[in-house]
Each structure stands twice: as C-alpha cells, then as structure tokens.
Structure 1
C-alpha cells in the first residue's frame, strides 16, 4: 500500500467479493447525498461501470466537510466551512477516496502537534510519542502533567480492561448501555486527565460525555491509541474545503457520473423494481438507490416515502437522533497571533471553548489573506451547546468564546476584528447509550436500497469521517455483489487489541469477573490485575 495510505503492519484488509470487472448489463444508481459517504459510494459504483447520478441538496459537495466562499470587507471572497477537520493517518478508506484523484495525497499537510490545555494551564502534547501501542499511551501518560501517579493508582484496572482489547461489535454488547461519563466514573479515572484524555475525544462526537455511549468512547480509544500504530498526529488539507472535493468530482465525471448540487430529494417511490427519486420538480429513475444523507435528511426522506420499507425498519430510521448544536466562530484579525501558536489547540475545562485553530498556518486562502493584510485567521469551536437553539444563548456563547480566546492567546486582546463569521449547526449524529442495537445498517429490507453515512451502523472499528467513507464503500459493494461485480477492498485498524500481553490481561479480567469470588474455579483467578 502507498505509504500515504498507511504504514501500520497490522492494519486489517477486508477483502471484497470477487466478480466481473464491470456491471453487465449496465445499471443506473441514484446516490442521494454528496458528502463523504455519497462520494465514496458513487466512486465505488462508477469504477465498475455503473451509471451514477449523485444528487446533493447543498450547492457544494463534501457534506459536513464541504465549503463555500464569503465576502471580505475589501470585496474579495475567501473560503468558509463548518470548521476544522483532522484527517488521521488511520482513516484508510477516506484517504483511499481522496487518493483516487490525487495519488500522493499532496492536498494533505501534517500537523506537527495538537496540544491539549486545561483550565489550570497544564498542557499535554502528542509530539514525539512512539507510534506503536501500548507504548504510545504509556509514554503519553508518563509525561503528562494531568496523570499523577496517585490518581493512576486509584484507577480500577478491572473496570478499565474493556479499553485494552476492543472488538467490534462485542464492545457495543458490553458497554453500549452505559454512558461515557458513568464509565469513566466506574474506572475512577483522574478528573484532570479525564478532561484532556477523554472529554476532548467525546466532544469530537459533538456530544457531552453524559449523552455518549461508553462503547463509542472505548472504540475511539482503540482507534486512536491502543488499536493503531499510525501515531496520534494527523494531517489537514492545505486547500480550502470549497476546493477540496473538485479533483474527486472531476474523477467521477470522467467515469460518466453526473453530479448535481442544489437538488433536494423529497421522496422515493417504487414501480416494481424501478425506483423513482423525486425532488426539485424532477424525477430520476434508477435500478438502485444509495441514501447517504445526514440523519435529519434520512428521517425526513423516509417519512415522506410511506411505501418505502416495512414498519420495523422505518421505526429504526425514525429513532436516529442528532447531537446538540455546535458553534464555529471564524475571525479575521488585523494582527498575527504569536508565531509559536500551534495550528490546532484543544481545550478542556474552559467551556464553551473546545478548540482553537489558526487557519493561516495551513489553509492557503487564510494564509494569502494573512500575508496580504498582516493579520491572522482564527477559528473557535463550541461543541454540544445546551440551549443552543436560543438566540440569547447564542449571543452569550459568542461573547464567552472571545473571552476564552483572550485567555489562551492573550495577544489577541489587542487585535481588531476585521470581520467574522459565526455558524451554528445541529445535524451531527448522536450515539446515546443503548442506541447501537436499533441503528439501521447499510443493507435494508428494500432490495436495491442501501444506506451510508457516519450515523449508520457498521461493525468495524471506524468513526467520524472514516465511518462515513467506509459505509459509502460498503454500500457500493453491497449493490455490486447483487450484480455479480467485484467490490472494493477496505482497510481498518486491527479488529482487536494491538498487544498480545494486554489482550491476555483482558481475557484474564473477563474470566475473573465471570467467576467472581470463586478463587478455586480458575488457577490464579484471585490474583488482582
């Protein structure tokens, strides 16, 4: 595999079905949604000779990782998006999608570090850590100011064992009924370390720990720490998001796909084996349909299509929920921030601020403006805002975000804001405790209809953008298999704990828990772990 697409020798390849190189007779598929999942599905199908029509309601591609332009006071336009996104090295299937159009992934630039700072000013860093588990997590803990030895000694090793050997979907059967906050309480994880080691990750799902399944938190720990040797540092696109997806769009149109933005699909009907996809005053006919919308769009579309699917499946779709609102505040300042500031800073214990980005460190649009004006472009995020639908709350959040920026980057107190953009959204999927068993999967009870997206169930160790890409490829594979065509191989982090000794410890802990106080049931079962 291309080094740009992964270097972990234990990464797992999931071989797709074998079959013909192209679909014959030729089939027509409508893909609803032009985000990562929809683009992956469209790519997987178009590469096998399927006639693809992709319909996207927004005027741009990329979904929640898409972008647009906004005017500046000088009359020029610059890029705007929904905020910072980290392209981790273990996002194999997302990176494979981008590599279709740019084989060397030249669009991505490494971020040397992303420090985490708490309310007391203590800083954790990922710079220079070993990449191989468990040494990465051990080295992180040993040098962290938030992991005192006394606190770590109070951690319940037995209760923490599920973090050591995560397996999917087993982790959901074990932990999905528990919320992430209660799980960390059970472990007796040190409060200060919790803010930086776990809360930052849980809030990357746009949800407070109390509303997030403990299984999702354990999955993230596996994906980023103990399950992958790709390291903890990530890449970012140097190209603004409104330009990021154009090479892939060109790649798709070169394979006969038709990509249509500004096309809102309203309902789907069936006439025998033919689907009628209705929206924006038009009807598209297809042999199969991929629904790759966000959660709210999927719920609405299924509700507006009363003959689509049996009641039990429709109920699964209706139960999907979205996370609380989040805010992105992007500001163009008349002077630069300190040159030592990182491209990305995560914060813990400083509500409502979750992170700060300095866009001119990596984004070519922002860098050009900063060079031209002698300023800087900063972006502030507030995730999972309680009451974020209220205008008064929104005004308060904006004011407090500025206050927090002045705390963490004091030099910005003297800066004048040339212009700012404040964006609120509430369309990210929520994974509350107990929801996994009811989450709809990629295949559906309707022949020829498949789902994709980061809110869709997939029994693989993936999350966020990588879950979207993976489900898109799998949706294409499902349809291709029905037509006797070859699918596309996928790659994930290892499906179980990376270290054999830690896996053995996990097994011993499970046996100890099973047999309880019967110390004579298993040799050595009473030994504490």
Structure 2
C-alpha cells in the first residue's frame, strides 16, 4: 500500500485539533469571568459619594473611570504633569527645537490582557494596536530565536519550542530533577509560593539542571520583571510563565501602539474621565492621607473613600506619613513600610542618522552582555518617530536595561550610556560610528519588585480600614495577572469593593485559569460524563 502523505497530514491535523480542544476544556476555558454581578442591584449611588484616587497610572485611571461612569464624584490626583504612570509619555525638546514624546519604555499589550483590553476598546485605543508579528531573542553568538511559528496551545507549545530549536528534548533532565520542570507547568498559588517564593531562578535552574537554551529564555523572561535571576522569586516566575504562556492560546505574540502613549492611550482615557465628570489634578503630590470622621482627607478635602494607587515608592512614602494607618491597621502599615522597588532600570532613547535592519521585528530581546536587554525601533512603531526618521534619513532607537546589576554604579549615567552603546554596536555593527542627533537617558528606581520572599508581605486590595483600598501591579491579587493587566485588575477590584459597600452592581472581571495545565491530572472522559468506577 503506497504511503499517503495527505492522509497522514489530515490525521495529524485532526489529532492536533482534538488536543487543542482537550487542553482548553481541561483548563476550564481560557477567558473566565470570576465574579457574578447581580443585575437586580442599582448601578449608581442614591446619594453623592466622593472618592479620591491617588495615582494616575493604569491602576488609578481604571478605578477612576469605573467609578466615574457609575456616578461617583471622583478626584484623580497625580504628582506628575501627565497621566499614565509607567505608561506615561512626556515631551522633550531636541536641539533643533523639535518637541517629541518619550516614555518609560516599550509596552506590549498581550491579547490575554482581558480587562485592560476591554477598557481600551471603550476608549478607542485598540484602534491603534498593531501586531508585533514576531517575538525574537538575539544571542551573543549571532543566533536568532523566533517564536512566530511556535504552537500557541498550552502544553503543546512546550513541545513546539523543541521542534523549532529552542531546546532539545534529549537535554531535558530525568529522574527527581524532572519533577521540578513539571512544577513549571503546575502553577497553584498556595503550593507554588510555599515551595518557591524563597527560591531564585538561578538556584532553581541549577537544581533542575535546566538546559542552557531554556535558561537563556527564562533569563530574558525574568529580567522583564526588573530583576536578575538571583533576585527574582521563582514562584513569581512560575506564575508569570503560567499567565503569559500556559493559560491561553495567543502565544507570546502581542500588540503595540502605533503612536506615543499620550496620544493613543492617556488622552482617550482622560476624555472618558472628563465625559463622566471626574476631576483630574495634575502636579498634585499627596504628602499623606488624613482622617476626617469616618471618611478621609486628602490635600485638605473630605472624601468618603480613597483608592491609593501610587507606585511602590510613592505608596510607601504616603503610608509612612499617614498616622492613622499605624493606629487603625498596624499590619497594613507594616506591610506598606516593607514595599520596595525592583532593581534600577535604564532607558536610552536615540535619534540617529543610520537605518536599522528591516528584517527584524520592531522590538527585540537580547542575550545580555552586561546591560542591554532589549532594543525597540520606534521609527517603525510610532507615527511621530517615523516622521522624524523619514525627515532625517535615520532611525529612532530605544535601548533598555531592565535590571542594573549590583556591580554597576546606577548613578554613573555616562558609564551606563557607553556600555549600552557598545553592546548595541556588538549586536548591530552597522550602527558603529553613527551620528546621534539627540538622546534621552533615564535611570529610574521605581518599578514594583517581584523578589525573593516578598509575597508574604504583599498587601491585598482590601485593607482593614473601611473605605481605604490599594491598587497597583504590586498588590496581591486573587487571580493570576501581571504588569499592566495586574494594574487594571486591581483598579477594577477596588471599584467593585466600593460598589459592594454601597450595595451596587459590580463590574465584570475576567481572568486566565487559576491553576496551571498540570496542576490537576488530565482525564480523557468528556466534560460532564460520569467518572468510571
């Protein structure tokens, strides 16, 4: 009987389709609504309620928009002169007098950011989304690892990585060490954090005999959370691996904004806030929160509730100066006092006279030599930068170090700049000797830390003080989420807590599956069918 290649392809395709359905069913679906709003409840308060939201990042803006839409009198206070927090954008002036926007760094909008993307659909921001096309890591030996064609179904994508050369199955450890690799696929909040919150990725990789190829992928992944491999909590990394790769079928491909965040994200959110009567105070630094009766006082004004949505540095400072916190909830006061930022990070924006390799995606991760973790070609991403590059025949690049190593002086801007440029030229020799028309260097130390042992002190969004709530990507959430989606989810949770307090209908909140693909055993029976025996 002759070999029938087409029949083999059909059988293989059918098996893959069955496996994809089986994985999704096993996880209970990829997009899950985690609360059940009661439609019989009113949507707006019978009497006016004043809420102060401190911090104009994604967490604060989410809470403020959600509350203002429901008729609450919201005041959003932001210490900077622009909204957005870590997704903020502000102007800088070039030597020729041109004013252009800069940001904290490149932002990836993953397709399983269910709550954030739902909010941004409302503002029209998603019209500015562009498909990244590929996810690439460049290696020191000249290699290029692409994730474009990797299978996107959880679990199947692990084997697909081997098929596409990201690691070799024969290099995977056997015996007791293999159990640790299974733990990567078995996220369960309580068990995972009990076992791994005090274990670094560096120690885990050694104990599990993780192959070098997989170590590289995980190192670049870990640094995206602003920590080196000896600092990052392995439990946080397992949670992140679950959230970003093993809980949905979008893979690592994501969207980015086609112009700067001020025009495409923050201005639309501000228009929505204005439309619903929210008051926005920029340049309003809050030194402390005070008590006024059963409510609160912020910058001399009374409020029925407060959502504290500043970054970890600002939150710790405000909490330390708010005397009533220590008296009414000493556990919360102590937890907030222990908040710490991650390692310092660096963003260097360059306006150059040289073109850049058009065959590479506009965002590229690199195997770090000393500092350089990623390069973004902004002239291929954002309209404003594209216009500048077209007028000057060059490129607009962003060099990013996510976590400055301890043996590098983070206060030495010139030395950091030289090292970043040297590594850029190592990866891209065609940029050697380029003319830099303008540059903008940021060295910051204000990102949330996901370091060893921090989860036990991470406060939830609810506090022991009625009317006081916490929002930010640093808050301990009841559902898996990270970075921008965590910030947005925390803002929604705070708004819903206020709605519950007022007897109002909640807003729906969505999340990925709570547990990892191997956290519960697979069964071949159909959903709803009786178990054998």
TM-score in same-fold range (> 0.5): yes
Secondary structure of the residue aligned to 1:205 is coil
- Give yes or no for contact 2:29–2:513 (8 Å, CA) kept in 1: no
Distance 1:33 1:136 in 2: 38
Distance 1:231 1:126 in 2: 8
CA 1:391–1:160: 2 relative to 1, 3 Å: closer
Q: Which moved more, 1:298-307 or 1:225-234?
A: 225-234
Of 36, 42, 45, the residue aligned with 1:23 is 45
CA 1:154–1:9: 2 relative to 1, 3 Å: closer
Offset at 1:160? 1.5
- Give yes or no for contact 1:30–1:284 (8 Å, CA) kept in 2: no
Map Cα deviations across residues 486-528 of structure 1 (whole Å, 9 max, x no partner).
11111111122347xx74279xxxxxxxxxxxxxxxxxxxxxx
2:212 equivalent to 1:191: yes
Matches within 5 A, 1:209-358: 209-243=229-263, 244-278=265-299, 283-308=300-325, 309-358=328-377
- Give yes or no for contact 2:469–2:494 (8 Å, CA) kept in 1: yes
Secondary structure of the residue aligned to 1:420 is strand
Offset at 1:249? 0.7
Distance 1:41 1:487 in 2: 12
Aligned to 2:111: 89
Distance 2:359 2:512 in 1: 33
2:90 equivalent to 1:71: no
Secondary structure of the residue aligned to 1:468 is helix
Offset at 1:414? 3.8
Q: Which moved more, 1:34-43 or 1:241-250?
A: 241-250
- Give yes or no for contact 2:410–2:416 (8 Å, CA) kept in 1: no
Distance 2:436 2:184 in 1: 44
- Give yes or no for contact 1:166–1:219 (8 Å, CA) kept in 2: yes
Distance 1:404 1:21 in 2: 55
Matches within 5 A, 1:118-517: 118-144=139-165, 146-153=166-173, 156-195=177-216, 197-243=217-263, 244-278=265-299, 283-308=300-325, 309-387=328-406, 390=409, 393-498=412-517, 503-504=520-521
Offset at 1:431? 2.0
Offset at 1:484? 0.5
Distance 1:406 1:354 in 2: 14
- Give yes or no for contact 1:441–1:451 (8 Å, CA) kept in 2: yes
Offset at 1:400? 1.2
Distance 1:391 1:172 in 2: 31
- Give yes or no for contact 2:139–2:367 (8 Å, CA) kept in 1: yes
CA 1:153–1:310: 2 relative to 1, 3 Å: closer
Q: Which runs of 5+ in 1 are unaligned?
A: 1-7, 507-529
Aligned to 1:58: 80
Offset at 1:222? 0.6
Map Cα deviations across residues 426-466 of structure 1 (whole Å, 9 max, x no partner).
00111222221211110011110000001111121100111
- Give yes or no for contact 1:114–1:343 (8 Å, CA) kept in 2: no
Map Cα deviations across residues 376-423 of structure 1 (whole Å, 9 max, x no partner).
001101121135894664322211111111111121114211111111
Offset at 1:74? 2.1
- Give yes or no for contact 1:154–1:188 (8 Å, CA) kept in 2: no
Q: Which runs of 5+ in 2 are unaligned?
A: 1-27, 524-533
Offset at 1:470? 0.6
What is the count of residue pairs matched by the alignment? 490
Distance 1:358 1:487 in 2: 41
Distance 2:86 2:367 in 1: 24
Of 119, 130, 134, the residue aligned with 1:109 is 130
For the aligned residue pairs, the C-alpha RMSD in angstroms reads 1.9
- Give yes or no for contact 2:150–2:164 (8 Å, CA) kept in 1: no
- Give yes or no for contact 2:133–2:253 (8 Å, CA) kept in 1: yes
Secondary structure of the residue aligned to 1:58 is coil
